[in-house]
Homo-oligomer: A and B are copies of this chain.
Amino acid sequence: MRVGVFLFDGVDLLDAGGPYEVFLTASRLAARDGLAAPFEVITVSRTGEPVVAYGGLGLAPQAGIADCGPLDVLIVPGTIDVDAATGDDDLVAAIDHLAAASGLTASVCTGAFLLAAAGLLDGREWTTHWEDVDLLARRLGADRAVRGVRWVDADDVVTAAGLSSGIAMALHLVDRLAGRELAERTARQIDDDWHPDGVAAHHAGLS
Contact = CB atoms under 8 A, between A and B. Distances in A.
B62 A60 contact: no
Contacts of A42: 56
Contacts of A41: 55-56
Contacts of A14: 14, 17-18, 20-21, 167, 190
A120 interface: no
Contacts of A55: 20-21, 24, 41
A20 B190 contact: no
A57 B164 contact: no
A28 B54 CA distance: 11
Interface string A56-75: 11111110000000000000
Contacts of A190: 14, 162-164
B193 A165 contact: no
The 10 closest A-B pairs by CB, nearest first: A58-B60, A162-B191, A17-B17, A14-B21, A193-B202, A13-B17, A163-B190, A164-B192, A24-B55, A164-B191
A35 interface: no
Interface in A155-185: 161-165, 167
A56 B29 CA distance: 18
Interface in A185-203: 188-193, 200-203
A43 B17 contact: no
A206 interface: yes
Contact of A13 (B21, B50, B54, B188): B21
Contacts of A188: 202-203, 206
A142 interface: no
A130 interface: yes
**Most chain-B CB neighbours within 10 Å: which of A55, A58, A59, A61?**
A55
Contacts of A189: 131, 162-163
Given A14-B167, A129-B191, A193-B200, 13 more contacts: A12-B21, A13-B17, A14-B20, A28-B80, A50-B58, A57-B62, A58-B59, A164-B164, A164-B167, A164-B190, A188-B202, A188-B206, A193-B202
